Structure 1
Amino acid sequence: MRKISFKLGLLFFVFVLGIETVLFASLYVTLVNARINEEFEQLLARGNNHRDVLEKSYHPSTLEHVTMMESEAETDVVITNDKGKILYFSDHILPFAKRVIKKSNKNIPYGGMIVQKNWQRESYISTVSPIRIDGKIKGYVYMFQHTASIQNMIDRLKHHFLVVGILSVFLTIMTIAFLSRVITIPLIRMKQATEKLSKGDFSVRLQVKGEDELAQLGKAIQTLAKDLEYLKKERNEFLASISHELRTPLTYVKGYADIARRPTLEEEERAKYLSIIYEEAEHMQKLVKDLFELAKMDQHSFQIEKEPTPLCLFLKKVYVKMYPAFQAKNMSLVYRCDEDITVHIDRQRFEQVMMNLLDNALKYSHQGSTVSIDVRMEKKNVMIMISDEGIGIPEADLPHIFERFYRVDKSRSRTGGGTGLGLAIVKEIVEAHGGSIYATSQFGKGTNMIITLPGGDEGVHGFIG
């Protein structure tokens, strides 16, 4: 993560430094040009002021006065006649002035103009303002300013920009280092969390705040850790359940097979033990079949074929099949259904659902009690309820009864029968039909299993999962 922090900080620094460089360069050039233009404008304005004075009073005394004023200033002045002959000038400017006057253009506008603006190579900059009296050019006022003052101004600007630039780079580095650290700390924690997950440690707890992308990633990792922890627990319980379910019948099979192999055993006893072995083999076969069905459901390869089915007629056939079993236990099976309800179901798979639920109701109900099948329409859905007057389900166990291998009887007594997979398969099949199933129960009074199926027209093919 240090590499990521360094790379991220370096990337930010390069981009920010590039932006700052462009902005500083643009600001520097703009300021320099603005200040130089101000110097030219001030010099030209000073020349125009002298021109205005001379136009009002063009006398030798006035010319001398203007020249004397500039001799005490930072600027210099040269006054010529209309032919360019120098009449008056301030000290030390004459050699340079002659060269400028010689090269200057005679078509000079009344507002004046810049005649020497190369402040980087020449020692002076210069402007000229024409003196016009009675509509005729009487002469010219040339103003000169030493470029050393401009160079000093530029040097001061460079110094200020250099100091500000160094300070801004330092602050940029500090800010980027802080921000990159703030950004990468959650990533470092997430990396450490994923390393724990890869080692099988699912006790990951990330403190995430906000709703940005990093917070969402942290929440996703947190959710993943919880899901993996749950799956690990489920896997362990699943393997333990399979081991238990297979160990018991295998123990019976092995034990009774050893007894049945004894040559001195009576044939009647041998037949009894072989019958027990057969029953246990059937139990294992049913368990393996249920596991195989659940595996196909998990792999989304368990196809169902839906077809329009008159529900009442379908349930009537199920009622007829199950009625003898209820009669043998001295129990009543009641069937109530409207005659005009049609649903799209896989008849074989849905019969499996109903037989499983009715078998559970038969198994966990008392003699003389009643089990009922009720069907009704509720809005656009079909409700099927299987009710019994049996032992019921404790409230703490009710949310878990559709989990694989979950049994309300924690002792897993084999006298209760079943593999603990029946309701899990029921739930998968019902949901594959686009429906849902849930249970309500009062412990000691009975249980209701409620199936909801979508009504109306729908597709006729589906997959479990």
Structure 2
Amino acid sequence: MVKSRVEEELIALQARGNNHREVLEDSYNAETLHHIAVMEWNADTEVIITDQKKNIIISSSKLDKEEKEILSKKIEPVPRNGKILENRWKSEKYISTVSPYTVNGQQKGYVFMFKSTDQVQSLISRLSHHFLVAAVITVTLLILTILFLTKSITTPLIRMKKATEKLSRGDFSVHLTDMGEDELGELSRSITILARDLKHLKEERSEFLSSISHELRTPLTYIKGYADVARQKNIEDKDRERYLDIIYEESEKLSDMIKDLFNLAKIDQNTFIIHREKVQLCSYLRGICEKMMPAFKEKGMKLEIDCSENIYVMIDPMRFKQVFLNLFDNAIKYSDPYTKINIFVKREKGDVLIEIRDEGHGIPREDLSFIFERFYRVDKSRSRDFGGTGLGLSIVKELVEAHQGRIEVKSEVGKGSTFLIWIEEMTE
């Protein structure tokens, strides 16, 4: 920028000399020469007009040694627009230019322009001072910006680092304050959500293990107790058979529970393979209903299905059959005799909605959000009496979601429950 500024000064000096040349060429006389000298008298530049041999005709000020040395330099040839004689503003006293002028078509002499380098250096000094001030301001703002960024970015990151260290030690009591809507805020919320989910998983795992130990202990206690009684030699055969029947019944419950746990374990480990195929939903459902009909008739219950004939879905028939069997079995257990179960199938926004509606006992509102959790029972004693494991609805939910579907339940105590399943319809 300094170099550019000096070049601007030299160009301006040369232009001023060319202007004086134009005036001389228009009217070359003593009055014009005097007028040019007077013009430069109070300016920050000096002018010297010479003849062809560089003899001074007029000067705006008295020449000093440095100006005489510049005049003595060889200047031939000089182009019409002039040229720069001296541009060493750092080491010399003057910068200088020369412009030739002509009278009556012939070159008459030269117009020399001088400008003190003190003025140029003063200008450069002011320019440097401005840049120094700008640099100080810039550095100050940069330091303030770094401090601000350190506080607004580094401090939250340190807090989040400490939070993740707590999570790694198994301490899930982590809560980070809201840090805004930017990426840091999203990361903070994600860590808080992760901590909450991990805490929930830890509690769920503890509850799950406790439930398993309790559910396994109950039938094993029955089996062991009645087996000890049945081994006694002084009991009647009729009582022995009754005890053996109880042992067999509890063994069946235990086998069902282990089977359900095995299925859930495979789903959790993503080893539960789904073999999808194109299925005509209505005929598929009617086939399942026919197999379940004896169980409904045994309790005097009706099973009705309302379904169109042209709905196709991509499902695993064996896996999805387990969904309906579990839901039907659930409806039979928790409904009174001579009630009715309805199945409705319809299209809804590109999906197929399957409603299974019973007239059973219903589910309390406070239990609805937990109904699909493992080992959760609304009425534990009733469920055990009927042989339930508390895993059936968990398996139903996992199987539906494995088919990229979703399941919900609506219920009212004393009025029954409705299970709603959405799965994607297969288009032709």
Q: Same fold (TM over 0.5)?
A: yes
Is 2:265 aligned against 1:295?
Answer: yes
Distance in 2 between residues matched to 1:240 and 1:341, nearest whole Å? 47
Letter in 2 for 1:146: S
Counterpart residue type for residue 361 of structure 2:
I
Letter in 1 for 2:29: K
Q: CA deviation at 1:422?
A: 0.7
Give distance in 2, aligned partners of 1:284 and 1:169. 76
Q: Distance in 1 between matches of 2:23 and 2:171?
A: 91
Question: Partners of 1:442 and 1:374 in 2: how far apart?
Answer: 18
The alpha carbon displacement at 1:381 in A equals: 5.7
Distance (Å, rounded) in 2 between the aligned partners of 1:78 and 1:312: 112
Unaligned residue ranges in structure 1 (runs of 5+): 1-25, 459-465
Change in Cα spacing, 1:338 to 1:160, as seen in structure 2 (3 Å) is: closer
Q: Give the 5 Å matches for 1:12-51.
A: 26=1, 28-35=2-9, 37-38=11-12, 41-42=15-16, 44=17, 48=21, 51=24
State the match for 1:192 in structure 2: 162
1:325 is aligned to 2:284: no
CA distance in 1, matches of 2:18, 2:30: 19
Instruction: Note the C-alpha offset of 1:308.
Output: 5.0
Q: What amino acid is aligned across from residue 193 of structure 1 in structure 2?
A: A
Tell me the TM-score normalized by structure 1: 0.76
2:75 maps to 104
Deviation at 1:409, TM superposition (A): 1.3
Contact map agreement 1:48 1:112 (CA 8 A) in 2: no
- State the superposition RMSD in angstroms: 3.8
Offset of 1:103 from its aligned partner? 0.8
Is 1:374 aligned with 2:371? no
1:47 is displaced (CA, Å) by 5.8
Q: Distance in 2 between matches of 1:438 and 1:412?
A: 23
| Residues 306, 347 of structure 1: 8 Å contact kept | yes
Deviation by residue 1:255-277 (Cα, 9 ceiling, x = unmatched)? 33444445555555444434333
Q: Which moved more, 1:129-138 or 1:115-124?
A: 129-138
Q: Cα–Cα, structure 1 residues 40 and 456, in superposed 2: closer, same or farther, change >3 Å?
A: closer
- Report the CA distance between 1:363 and its aligned residue: 1.5
Deviation at 1:202, TM superposition (A): 2.8
* Cα distance in 2 for residues equivalent to 1:36 and 1:169: 34
Match of 2:64 in 1: 93
Q: How far did 1:283 drift?
A: 1.5
Structure 1 residues 72, 91: CA separation in 2 closer, same or farther (over 3 Å shift)? farther
Q: Matches of residues 233-312 of structure 1 in structure 2 within 5 Å?
A: 233-262=203-232, 267-309=237-279
1:205 aligns with 2:175: yes
Please report how far the alpha carbon of residue 178 of structure 1 lies from its aligned counterpart in structure 2 after TM superposition.
1.5
Count, aligned residues: 425
Kept after mapping to 1: 8 A contact 2:46/2:115: yes
1:172 pairs with 2:166: no
2:199 is aligned with 1:229:
yes
The match for 2:397 is 427
Aligned 8 A contact 2:405 2:422 in 1: yes
Q: Relative to structure 1, is the Cα distance of residues 173 and 332 closer, same or farther in structure 2, using a 3 angstrom cutoff?
A: closer
Contiguous gaps of at least 5 residues in structure 2: none
Distance 1:285 1:142, change over 3 A: same
The 2-side partners of 1:74 and 1:358 are apart by 107
Tell me the equivalent position of 1:82: 52
Shift of 1:420: 0.7
Please report how far the alpha carbon of residue 339 of structure 1 lies from its aligned counterpart in structure 2 after TM superposition.
Answer: 8.0
Distance 1:391 1:204 in 2: 41
Alignment partners' CA distance in 2, 1:431 and 1:208: 33
Which structure has more RCO (C-alpha within 8 Å, separation ≥ 6)? 1
2:409 pairs, out of 432, 439, 444, with 439
